[in-house]
A = this chain, B = another copy of it.
Amino acid sequence: MSAFKPVRFVEVHLEGQFWQERLETVLTRTIPSQHVQLGEHGILESLTLPAPPPPLRFPRNEHNFTVQVFWDSDVGKWIEAASYALSHRRDPDIESKIEKITDDLEKAQAPDGYVNCWYLQREPDKRWTNLRDNHELYNLGHLIEGAIAYFLATGRRRLLSLLERYVEHVRATFGPGPDQKRGYCGHQEIELALIRLYRLTGERKHLDLASYFINERGKQPHYFDEEARRRGEQPSDFWAKSYEYNQSHKPVREQTKVVGHAVRAMYMYSAMADLAAELKDDSLKRTLEVLWADVIGSKMYITSGLGPAAANEGFTEDYDLPNDTAYAETCASVALIFWAQRMLHLDLSGKYADVMEQALFNGALTGLARDGTHYFYSNPLESDGRHSRWAWHTCPCCTMNASRLIASVGGYFLSHSDAAIAFHLYGGVSARVALAGGNVAIRETSTYPWSGDIKITVDPETPFDFALKLRIPGWARGFDVAVNGAAIAGAKAEDGYLTIARRWAAGDQITLTLPMPPERVYAHPAVRMDVGRFALKRGPLVYCVEEADNPGGPVQRLKLPRGAALKPEQRSDLFGGIVTLASPAIRLKDDDWQDTLYRPEAPAEVPTKVTALPYYLWNNRGPGSMLVWLVEG
């Protein structure tokens, strides 16, 4: 196991333009507007347990399920995101809103500590009768994560305390004892929250309960079978057909393939990685390495999108990665970042950091519009123009996953051990890191991801020996590095990190140059959808071709010759300054087709120029067609 721990986001100041802009947007627009949406959609009102209960806003579907059962989690995630915002700068208005929510939850809480607003209001006698579908523990998990973030930002412990009482109720309810339920939640999340609570409080019982839920999962007799029978249902009537859906088809250590609902899977693997670290559990770590290889090797879109299918919001067959119907839920990419970061702290290896970066810049950032108030739930890699971000969603899980990630994004840049500081991401940050030998102020300056010219200044309080580990991204075909102007000849990265160990003194300066030529990227030939196609990348960014930059018809009618030169273009006129890619291309004409659909003559071709835009920026200029995988020919 690695000795590295992340440097918390509150210690990392975002100074670069790229992340400054996203952070400010989230703080000033996204988080306030999300509170408005929670109000307008009845979610805040539901915390007050209005009597009589208002009619369902989202009636039960054919599986007898309504999204309203997880409204508590949306509140928890908003509190978490808002509290990260408060860590950047306090805000009495936001704080009073969280206090009001706390008031409501306090009033709602049952004498035994239970506090789930759906059940308390609508089905008080049905608590814990459908863990498979109804998200009770998931809701608690998100509330805990929110409460911890709020406590850390403000020192106020009232919300957390009431949830700790609920946790005690949960602890009494679940476990191996004769009067306890041997259950666990159909949607993993409580485990992550309990481990976070353990890390905050140091109380081992929380870690043990998280571990219990993970270890119990998938055992026979199957809890969800027994629970269904107690409801008078046939277990085989489970709408998703298989417990692969919630990764309880077998005990977790026997799982070797990534299956089922993508977000559930990623949350579970994240919790397992936490447990592997806390408990030094090699069997969990080995399981995760197998699952990691499976998802990275056969199930991940180039954007890091996960889960091609809408039917199960999740995984299907190996290499089944359709582009226009890709589900690739924003939440799943956010959760992949969680998992990747945790793997990175089990083994400081670039393979994890590469995926974390890829998911951040492409899978996750895409979920939030430039305006900070519109969201993608699913993230297709091709559109005929019908896809647009939503102002809100029936199931608003992705909205707050976007905001809580960006509000805390600084936490993904740096890690440290006793005697080393590791850089995973670049883009303009400063931080103060406490090593065993003393405190170190460090500042990284760059316009990454637009340029790979990176400058790092190191300011230890006093000179002492420690190591700087600089990530050399997997996409970099080479690099140059110098310390105080002196090139380090033959510098080599190991496992994705270049280690510079020396006695550092105030003002020492490193320059790292990561060349960023535009690149064509090809998919494994088993991805049948992408045969004869390629994608464009530059640095960590996946590009797409969007109609807004390429007027004249659907972008699907463009072909790019294999050898054509790709040219980066600095565009100060777009989105505050970005780099686009230009290439000679061919446009298929249709004006000589008359009324037929098929003919022996190939479509006429006219030369044109194509401009590609970073994928995460698509659909910010109105509807239009978009394509990531371009036809080569």
A527 at the interface (CB under 8 A from B): yes
A625–B535 CA distance with the chains assembled, in angstroms: 25
With A522-B598, A597-B297, A598-B522 given, is the CB distance from A531 to B62 under 8 Å?
no
* 1/0 contact string of A580-606 vs chain B (CB within 8 Å): 000000001110010111111111000
A531 touches B588 (CB 8 A): yes
Min Cβ gap A396→B in Å is 24
| Chain B, residue nearest A542 (CB) | B598
B519 touches A590 (CB 8 A): no
A526 at the interface (CB under 8 A from B): yes
A293 at the interface (CB under 8 A from B): yes
Residue among A300, A532, A562, A599 facing the most chain B CB atoms (10 A cut-off): A532
A556 at the interface (CB under 8 A from B): yes
A317–B588 CA distance with the chains assembled, in angstroms: 20
A597 touches B524 (CB 8 A): yes
Instruction: Determine the chain B residues whose CB is within 8 A of the CB of A519 once the complex forms.
Output: 600
Residues 506 to 562 of chain A near chain B (Cβ within 8 Å) = 519-528, 531-535, 554, 556-557, 559, 562
A228 at the interface (CB under 8 A from B): no
Min Cβ gap A496→B in Å is 14
A208 at the interface (CB under 8 A from B): no
A633 at the interface (CB under 8 A from B): yes
Min Cβ gap A577→B in Å is 26
| Chain B, residue nearest A527 (CB) | B597
| Chain B, residue nearest A295 (CB) | B597
A298 at the interface (CB under 8 A from B): yes
A597 touches B525 (CB 8 A): no
B631 touches A532 (CB 8 A): yes
A296 at the interface (CB under 8 A from B): yes
Residues 322 to 336 of chain A near chain B (Cβ within 8 Å) = 322, 324-325
A602 touches B522 (CB 8 A): yes
A282 at the interface (CB under 8 A from B): no
Number of A residues near B (Cβ < 8 Å) is 50
A598 touches B632 (CB 8 A): no
A384 at the interface (CB under 8 A from B): yes
B522 touches A599 (CB 8 A): yes
Interface residue from B526, B562, B595, B596 paired with A590 (Cβ < 8 Å): B526
Instruction: Determine the chain B residues whose CB is within 8 A of the CB of A209 once the complex forms.
Output: none
| Chain B, residue nearest A534 (CB) | B602
Interface residue from B298, B603, B633 paired with A525 (Cβ < 8 Å): B603
| Chain B, residue nearest A302 (CB) | B598
Instruction: Determine the chain B residues whose CB is within 8 A of the CB of A562 once the complex forms.
Output: 602
| Chain B, residue nearest A632 (CB) | B633
* 1/0 contact string of A294-328 vs chain B (CB within 8 Å): 00111010100000000000000100101011000
B534 touches A557 (CB 8 A): no
With A531-B559, A556-B531 given, is the CB distance from A524 to B632 under 8 Å?
no
User: Contact residues of A with B, CB < 8 Å?
Assistant: 62, 293, 296-298, 300, 302, 317, 320, 322, 324-325, 382, 384, 519-528, 531-535, 554, 556-557, 559, 562, 588-590, 593, 595-603, 631-633
Q: Sorted from nearest, which 10 A-B pairs have the closest CB atoms?
A: A528-B556, A532-B631, A62-B62, A525-B588, A297-B595, A525-B557, A525-B603, A633-B633, A525-B590, A522-B602
| Besides A523-B597, A528-B557, A532-B633, 19 other A-B contacts (C-beta < 8 A) | A297-B595, A300-B597, A302-B597, A320-B384, A322-B324, A522-B598, A522-B600, A523-B598, A524-B590, A524-B596, A524-B603, A525-B589, A526-B557, A527-B597, A528-B554, A531-B588, A532-B631, A534-B602, A633-B633
Q: List 25 A-B contacts (CB under 8 A).
A: A62-B62, A296-B595, A297-B595, A298-B597, A300-B597, A317-B384, A325-B325, A382-B528, A384-B528, A519-B600, A520-B602, A521-B598, A521-B600, A522-B598, A523-B597, A524-B590, A524-B596, A526-B557, A527-B597, A528-B554, A531-B559, A532-B533, A532-B631, A535-B598, A562-B602
